Amino acid sequence: MGGREREKGALKSALVVAGGLALAWVAMETAFKPWLDRLRSAIARSDPAADPDDVDADAAATATLDDTKGPDDVDVEEEVKVIEGSQSSD
């Protein structure tokens, strides 16, 4: 009879340990949720094969004036055409 009690005790101990680990996991997920969400989204956006230095250099090399124009920037060629058009109609 001692063997069965030992087996029950071992099973009970294993279940208590598994339950404790599950409870600890839930507590950690709940306590650190904002940081874990930010970390997971950053990992999802990242590309481990891409080198940030190469991406910045490629972006700077391929950038054109049209790509970097802001909403308040004026296109000089269009401004000259408007001025020439208004002078010719006078």
66-89: pLDDT as tens digits: 555 555 566 667 766 767 776 665
- What radius of gyration do the chain's Cα atoms show? 33
Q: Which residues contact 75 (CB under 8 A, 6 or more apart)?
A: 69
Locate the domains of the chain by residue range.
Answer: 2-63
pLDDT of residue 58: 57
3-59: pLDDT as tens digits: 788 888 999 999 999 999 999 999 999 999 999 999 988 888 887 777 767 755 556
> Is pTM, for the whole model, over 0.75?
no
